[in-house]
Amino acid sequence: MTESSGFVDHAGTGRQWYDLFSRGARDWLRHNDKVRAAVRDQLPELIAGSDLLPRPDSTVQVPVRFLEHARLRLRDAQQPEGVGQGDGKPGDKLAAPTEPGAGSGAGGDGEGGFQFVLELKIDDIVDWLWEELNLPNLKVKAGAVRHDDYTREGWSRRGVRSRLDRRRSLKEAIKRRAVQRQGPAFSNDDLRYQQLALRRRPATEAVVYFAMDVSSSMTEHDRQLAKTFFFWVVQGLRRQYTHIEPVFVAHTVEAWEFAEAEFFQVTGSGGTVASTAFRKVLDIASQRYDPGRFNTYVFYASDGENFSQDHDAAAAALAELGGVANYIGYVETASRAQQPLGTATAALFEQLQAATGAAGRHALSTPESVWDAIRAFFSRPVEQAA
């Protein structure tokens, strides 16, 4: 076609590449990946959203903005001017535009304005959060229960399809073809399957006590912070460890044990006697989870306003607990406090920390600090099992 114009006719040549592939959709998916990565970096702020709480198995919907590819541009004029068309006399007031970017051309102004909803699986969030976290001071307990567990061990020529080791099979095929020049690319004899063997393994069993102050001094906000903290700790521990027993205790002037679902719904009223919670934990430990066999962890959340008459009892119970627990963590919901960790209860934990070294404290004041607290408690390296 040199002289005149013409039509390209694809009628006879079948489908074009653009029928099968959309570059726009590809670049859009890439944009979504970037949003997902950005959300992941923002998780600490995100998990603070209390609406994430009651749906442990579902997904979370996060409203996000479109990413904007920034360009250099002038700041908005104080009183932007433009040219319009129609009946307008100087001084006339016109209806404000409904679409501010209208007519501004291909520059794509105002692209940042749209929102869309990103769906994240809670499992994924927990995976991201707990990537580098571990239970502190986890030990193999002497005389602990041993577990029979299947481990991968060696290869077999027979097996089920799902255990086919493709890398190994390929190696076998390459070895065979090095000798047998004319052979087929793969033969049944090349296939290798992973074998499983039953082995006994020493277990690192752990029990984690979650104790929460639900007395009336805890505001709604305080409780929300404490529950958010516990929720993500439970989720994370479940994912990280196969054998872990969570125990939930709530207290006012008295302490009760709860099932997990109820625990996150508990509301209470009345005063605060912290020692009851510690005693309850010690009771449960002696009855069901012998500290000699179980790694024992205690996390306690409170606003720190304990009855002053209870001070000595709480100190005694805590000292006893410190003797048996691998680690004791205290989070203080300090949304109203003048000074974080300035209460008598916080002081008790400070003494404990000084005495055993296996205790820690953290203030929960804002939703973001939930993540800081989790990191403070769980980011220490795993101790080499003795």
Interface ranges with another protein (CB under 8 A) = 1-10, 16, 18-19, 22-32, 34, 66-97, 102-108, 111, 114
Least distance to another protein, CB of residue 37, Å: 10
Give the three-state DSSP class for 126.
Answer: helix
Cβ contact 332:304 at 8 Å: yes
Residue 260 CB contacts under 8 Å (≥ 6 apart), including other chains: 234, 246, 248
Integer angstrom CA distances of residue 268 from 94, 208, 225, 250: 58, 22, 16, 9
Amino acid at 308: S
Looking at the Cβ atoms of 74 and 178, the one nearer to another protein is: 74
Report the nearest approach of another protein to the CB of residue 34 (Å): 6
How far apart (Å, rounded) are the C-alpha atoms in residues 126 and 60?
12
Element holding 117 (H helix, E strand): strand 115-121
Tokens of 145: 């229960």
Question: Rounded to the nearest whole angstrom, what is the least distance from the CB of residue 94 to another protein in the complex?
Answer: 4
| 95: amino acid identity, one letter | A
Q: Report, in Å, the least distance between residue 115 CB and another protein.
A: 12
Which of 198, 229, 270, 248 minimizes the C-alpha distance to 376? 229
Q: Which is nearer to another protein, 10 or 55 (CB)?
A: 10
Of residues 36 and 238, the one with the C-beta less far from another protein: 36
Q: Would you give the DSSP letter of residue 189?
A: G
Q: Are 183 and 241 in contact (CB under 8 A)?
A: no
Residue keyed to tokens 């969570």: 246
Residues facing residue 221 across a β-bridge? none
* C-beta closer to another protein: residue 66 or 258: 66
- How many residues appear in the chain? 386
Shortest CB 78 distance to another protein, Å: 7
Q: 283, 131 in Cβ contact below 8 A?
A: no
Q: Which residue has the tokens 């000699």?
A: 292
> Minimum distance between the CB of residue 17 and another protein, rounded to whole angstroms?
9
DSSP-derived letter for residue 51 is G
Q: To the nearest whole angstrom, how small is the minimum distance from the Cβ of residue 170 to another protein?
A: 23
Question: What is the rounded CA–CA span in Å between residue 330 and residue 308?
Answer: 18
Which of 91/381 has CB closer to another protein?
Answer: 91
* Shortest Cβ 14–another protein spacing (Å): 14
Closest approach of another protein to the CB of residue 349, in Å: 42
Identify residue 72 by its one-letter amino acid code: L
Strand partners, 193: 156, 164
Q: Which is nearer to another protein, 31 or 201 (CB)?
A: 31
CB-nearer residue toward another protein: 73 or 181: 73
Q: Which is nearer to another protein, 1 or 142 (CB)?
A: 1
DSSP code at position 50: G
**Smallest gap, in angstroms, from Cβ of residue 29 to another protein?**
7
**Closer Cβ to another protein, 87 or 132, answer by number:** 87
Phi, psi of 263 (to 5 degrees): -55, -40
What secondary structure, in 3-state letters, does 317-336 show?
HHHHHHHHCCEEEEEEECCC
Residue with Cβ nearer another protein (78 or 287): 78
